[in-house]
Structure 1
Amino acid sequence: MQDLPDGLHVGLCGAGSPMADPLRSGPCVAVVAGKDLFVVDSGSGSTRNLLLMNMPPPRVSAVFITHYHSDHIADLGELMLQRWAGGASKTPTPVYGPQGLEQVVQGFEQAYTLDRGYRIAHHGEAVAPPSGFGGDPRPFVADPAAPDVLVLEKPGLKVWAFPVAHHPVEGAVGYRFEYKGRSVVISGDTGPSERLVKASKGADLLLHEGLAPNLVAVQKDVADKMGRDNYAKIFHDILDYHTAPEVAAEEAKAAGVGALMFYHIIPPLPVRALDGPFLGRSREIFDGPIKVGRDGDFASLPVGSKEIKWSNRLLAL
C-alpha cells in the first residue's frame, strides 16, 4: 500500500458470486482512501486475496457489509481473526452494516471462541491481545423513504450508504466513497435501482454487480434436462433480484459515471471469450470504459486528476 499515490484506489479481492469460478473468489472490494484500507463485503477466499494483493488484513480500518447473504460474509470471521492476531490489534474490527449486523458479528465471534482461547494461550497476550478479538458492530438503517446515510466521515473522506433493490433481502445497501474529489460507488447485490443511479451521479467509477440472463438461461436448460430441479429453480429465481449488464450500462449512462466495472459475476466466466456474451450490448449503451472484473483487478484514482489507472495486483505476482 505504501507504493500508492494519494487518492482513491479500488481492488477486487473477490469478483465472484456463490457459484464456483476459477477466476473469482466470493464478493469483496478493497478501498484505499489515502492511508486507510477498507473492505466492502468478505466473500469466501477474499482474505487470502487481500494478503496476495499486498493489502494485509491488519491494515484494515473498517469493514462495510452490503447485506447478509452467505457469499458476502463467508470470510468475515477469518478477516476479523487475521486483523486481530496478525496485527496484535487491541481493539475489535469496526464493522458497518444494515440492521441485523450484531447477530452476524456475534455469531462469528461465538464460532471463533475456542480458536481465540488457543491463540491467546499459545502466543500470549502481547501477540493476541484479548481486547482486540472479534468485531465492533456499527449498524445503521438506510430507509428507502429517507436520504442516503453518512456512515463514516474522516478528514477528506465520506462514506455514504444507500438502499438498493434486493427483495426479499430487506435492508440491502450499496456504498459511495468520496475522497478529496474522487468517488467510487459499489452497488452490492441489487436489481435495477433508481436510488443507485441517484447515488452514483458523477462518480468516477461504478462497481456494479452483473447477471447475464442469456447465460443463466443456458444453465437452467441444462439443469432441467438433467433433472436437477433444485438448481433449475434457483436459476429461475435469481433473475428477479440481480441486474443484467445492459441495464447496469443504462444506469451508468444515466448517472454520468466515468467508468463501469462489473463484479459479483453471474454466471461464472472461466474464459475471456465469454466476456462478450456476458456484456451483450453494454458497450453500445455506455461509452465509457467497461471492465468485466476478475480477482486482483485494481483501479487507481489519483487526487487532482480524472484519470483511472488500471492494473491487476494478482497477475503482477
Structure 2
Amino acid sequence: MASVTHEKSQSPLAGYLAGEQLVRGRLVPAAGAAGAREPGRFGVWLTGTGTPAVLPDRNGPSTLVQAGTDLMLVDCGNGCAYQMARLGFRPSDLTHVFITHHHADHNVDLPFILMSGWISYRDDYRPPLIVGPPGTLEFVNRMLALHEYDIRARLDHAYDVERLAPEVIEVDDGTEVFGRTWRTTSFRVDHHPVCEAFGYRIDTHDTSVVISGDTRPCDNLIDHASDADVLIHEAIYPGYGYPAYHTLSSDVGRVAAKANARHLVLTHLLPGHLPDERWLDDVRLHYTGRATVGRDLMRVV
C-alpha cells in the first residue's frame, strides 16, 4: 500500500492571532457630576423581552433608555442592535451599556455592538462606557480577543484599534453613575447561584425607572424601587423554567406593591407565548397599580 504524506500547512490565522492582548478595556472609577438633574428628553423602550429560548417575536433581554443627549442600553440580548435600528438608533449612538449579570442571554451582543460601531464609523467612533458587575472588564477583554482575527484584518484599512477599547466601571451595591440629566444606582439582587447580579435604578429630574435584571423576590430590589414611576421586572410563569432564582408571575405583583411602584412592566417572560391575561391575572392577586405585559419595541415611558 502506498504511503501518503501530508505537508504541514500554515494556519490561515497566522499573522493575525498573536499572543499579546490586542485590545484592552480600561477599568475606571465611577464618577460624574453628583446630583445632575436637568430636564431633557427621556424615553424607555423594551428592545428585547425574551429569555435564552429562541422565539420569533421576543429578542434577547435588553432595554433602551434615552436621557437627554445620552443613550443607554441595559443588557445586550441577542438582536438588540437590530432592534435599536428599528427604533431609529444606531449602535454608535450608545453612550453607556449596563450589564445586569453575565448570563449569555444578557451579554451576548455586546461584542457585536462594539464591533459594529467601530467598523461602520471608523474615523469618529467612540465606544460606550460599559458598566457591569465585578468581572466585566475581564469579560470585555476576552470577548474582544475572540474577534482578534477580524480586528487585525481591519488594521490594514487604517482602523485605529484604540477607538475600539471601551472604558469599564465595575459596580457594587449602591454604585452611582451620572450623566448630565440622569443618575443610575446599582443594587444587588438575588439570582443565586449567580453571585454578581444587579439591577439598576435610573432617576431624572421627574422620572424614575427601575430595571430588575434576573432575580428572585428581593428586599434590596424593593428598597431601591421604592416609589418608582416604572418597575421593569422579570417574570416566570409557574411550572416553567427555574423559579428558585427567578420571580414567579404570582409573586411579582407583591414585589411591585411593596415597592409602591406606579407602573409594573413585565419582561424576560418565560414562556413567551402565553396570552397577556394569564400574566395579569397573577399580577392582580397582589398589585392594583398599572400593569403591562412587555412586548418587543414597546415604549413604556
TM over 0.5: yes
Bigger Rg, which one = 2
Q: Are 1:179 and 2:213 counterparts?
A: no
Give the corresponding residue for 1:196: 221
Greater CA drift, 70-79 or 152-161: 152-161
Q: Give runs of aligned pairs for residues 266-305 of structure 1, distance below 5 A.
A: 266-269=270-273, 274-300=275-301
Q: How does 1:14-93 map to 2 (within 5 A)?
A: 14-88=48-122, 89-93=124-128
Partners of 2:277 and 2:179 lie apart in 1 by 40
Report the counterpart of residue 108 of structure 1 in structure 2. 143
- The alignment partner of 1:281 has SS state of helix
Specify which of 154, 158, 162 is matched with residue 131 of structure 1. Answer: 162
Q: TM-score, normalised by structure 2?
A: 0.82
* Separation (CA, whole Å) in 2 of partners of 1:163 and 1:239: 18
Paired residue type of 1:161: S
Residue 108 of structure 1 aligns to a residue in which SS? helix
Partner of 2:178: 153
Farther-moved stretch of structure 1 (180-189 vs 153-162): 153-162
* Structure 2, unpaired ranges of 5+: 1-38
SS of aligned partner of 1:213: coil
Question: For residues 299 and 118 of structure 2, what CA distance do their matches in structure 1 show?
Answer: 26
- 2:95 match: secondary structure: strand
Describe the superposition over 1:34-82 as per-residue Cα deviations: whole angstroms up to 9, x where unpaired. 1210011101111111111112111100110000011101101001112
Structure 1, residues 125-176: CA drift from partner, whole Å, max 9, x if none?
A: 3xxx32211432221222xxxxx221x1123311100000000101100000
Say whether the 8 Å CA contact 1:83–1:93 is kept in structure 2: no
Mind listing any 5+ residue stretches in structure 1 that lack a counterpart?
143-147, 217-234, 301-317
Q: Give the CA RMSD over aligned residues.
A: 1.7
Structure 2 counterpart of 1:262, from 258, 262, 266: 266
Aligned match of 2:156: 121
1:99 to 134, 138, 141: 134
1:141 correspondence with 2:164: no
User: C-alpha separation between the residues in 1 aligned to 2:79 and 2:267?
Assistant: 15
Higher helix share: 1
Contact 1:8 1:183 (8 Å CA) reproduced: no
Q: Aligned equivalents of 1:263 and 1:178: distance in 2?
A: 20
State the Cα distance separating 1:296 from its structure 2 match: 0.4
Alpha-carbon distance in structure 2 between the residues aligned to 1:278 and 1:119: 48
CA distance in 2, matches of 1:242, 1:26: 16
Q: Distance in 2 between matches of 1:39 and 1:112?
A: 22
CA distance in 2, matches of 1:267, 1:159: 30
Q: Identify the residue that residue 242 of structure 1 maps to in structure 2.
A: 246
Q: Which moved more, 1:175-184 or 1:131-140?
A: 131-140
When normalised by structure 1's length, the TM-score is: 0.78
Residue 284 (structure 1) shift: 4.2
Q: For residues 197-251 of structure 1, what are the alpha-carbon distances to aligned partners after superposition, in whole Å with 9 as ceiling and x for unaligned? A: 110111110000000114x1xxxxxxxxxxxxxxxxxx4xx11000012311111
How far does residue 90 in structure 1 lie from its aligned partner after superposition? 4.7
Aligned equivalents of 1:46, 1:154: Cα separation in 2: 23
| Greater shift in the superposed pair: 81-90 or 176-185 | 81-90
